Copies of this chain bind each other. A is one copy, B any other.
Amino acid sequence: MDIERNKDNFREMFRKKDFMALKEEMSVLPSQDVAEILNQMEAKESLIAFRLLPKDKAADVFSYLSDKIRAAFSKMIEEDELKSLIEDLFFDDKIDFLEEMPANVVKKILKGTPESERRLINQFLQYPEHSAGSIMTIEFVDLKADMTVEEALSHIRYTAPKKETIYTCYVIDNQRHLLGTVSLKDLVVAEPNQKIDDLMDKHIIAVKTDDDREYVASLFKKYDLLSMPVVDRENRLVGIITIDDVVDVLEQENTEDIQRMGGIRPSEESYFNQSPFTMAKNRLLWLFALMVSATFTGRIIQRYEELLQTMVILAAFIPMLMDTGGNAGSQSSTMVIRGLALGEIKSRDALKVMWKELVVSIIVGISLAGLNFLRLIAIEKVNYAIAFVVSTTLIVVVVLAKVVGGLLPLLAKMVKIDPAIMASPLITTIVDAMALISYFKIAGIFLKI
């Protein structure tokens, strides 16, 4: 558990070139921890340490290494060593690695692998990035319906070491059509001579290879699954997805949503692994678009230049009105974006959302306006007319902001844009314009200017 101390130990042994101790230490540590330490070392030193690992652990550690260090390794080691390393990987880890490699390296690595496996690998490499196919693996246990429990268990016993999970087994016919699933729990509890056919669960929750991985994750969450079968259009079993990969998908999807909501083009690389130029690029597009649209707000101010010149005090409340509007709007859009992501809100709920935001915004708007009115009179010593105009504008702005903030993500969803885009930066810009126009109109009416 104490990874920091382990890291220091590790470096110390390396410095002393005490490779025996290093080998011992690495065999005791979980693969994930070994990988975490190797990721942070110089590529050359990292490779030396990596080569001290026993063959089976090496493959496991390799699957947890960062893309960066794996790319460095693959440049430093001989083709044969790379090949034998990849052979030991689980199928989904193999695909993950090959996806990162340049095409010519992939070609070289695949040279010599049997035709059938090469075809399978190419098929897996072609599944679109966010599809169920892209996160599945082929190391599952398949059973036949006419097996007895005893036969099934001995089949599992024999094949288990090469499988990603044996806790759910998949019952298929000779054409590989998926007939049912049976858990190892049920097999262990059942009588040895029971038939799989009688034992298996025929209500299968499965996905297709081209289903979106977010949909896959939502099924895992809802049905508390440990693994799930993936079938093709003819209901033939092509792979399974396991919960550990789904947990990663959930975190990635959350990161993507959060980045979009922060006005950043999403990236799968971690903060420190992105170069400053990539980072700048991912941020510039939105900033520029929003900068240009913010000039509309500027135009509005210009249009009311005369009014402002005769009553400069009005300018002092512009930031407060704009900010409060922006914040109120982004509160609503945040709630709706998250509700959509969790499936609590559906596109068809637009009217319900509008109504809810309307009620909430009236409560919020009146409370804020009331507090603000008192503050302006008592603390800021503003005259009643201006306090009234500012506070009334506040109600209008909060109501508009919350209704627009609640509806825009739904609108995005309907036209198949990611609702997360409709978060604070964009909402703020839209609401700013609405806030200013309301302000000047209301001032025009009540201040008779």
Show the binding face of A for B, using Cβ within 8 Å: 1, 28, 30, 32, 153, 156-157, 160-161, 166-167, 184-185, 188-189, 203, 205, 220-224, 226, 243-244, 246-248, 250-251, 254-255, 257-259, 261-264, 270-272, 276-277, 279-280, 283-284, 286-288, 290-292, 294-295, 297-299, 301-302, 305, 308-309, 312-313, 315-320, 322-324, 326-328, 330-331, 333-339, 342, 344-345, 349, 352-353, 356, 359-360, 363-364, 367-368, 371-372, 375, 380, 398, 423-425, 428-429, 432, 436
Contacts of A429 in B (CB 8 A): 323
The smallest C-beta distance from A145 to any residue of chain B, in angstroms, reads 20
- Assess A258 versus B259: contact at CB under 8 Å? Given A224-B244, A286-B327, A287-B331: no
| C-alpha spacing A312/B250, complex, angstroms | 50
A291 nearest CB neighbor, chain B only: B324
- Contact indicator A344/B166 (Cβ below 8 Å): no
Q: A188-B160, A262-B331 are in contact. Are A276 and B360 (CB under 8 A)?
A: yes
Contacting pair A258 B258 (CB below 8 A): yes
Which residues of B have CB within 8 Å of A294? 319-320, 323-324
Q: Which residue of B lies closest to A423 (CB)?
A: B262
User: Which residues of the partner chain B approach A320 to less than 8 Å between Cβ atoms?
Assistant: 291, 294-295, 297-298
Q: Which of B262, B309, B328, B337 contacts A334 (CB 8 A)?
A: B262
Interchain CB contact under 8 A, A327 and B166: no
A324-B291, A375-B292, A429-B323 known; A368-B203 Cβ under 8 A: no
Q: Report which residue of A283, A429, A436 has the largest number of chain B beta carbons within 10 angstroms of its beta carbon.
A: A283
Chain B residues with CB under 8 A of A322: 319, 322
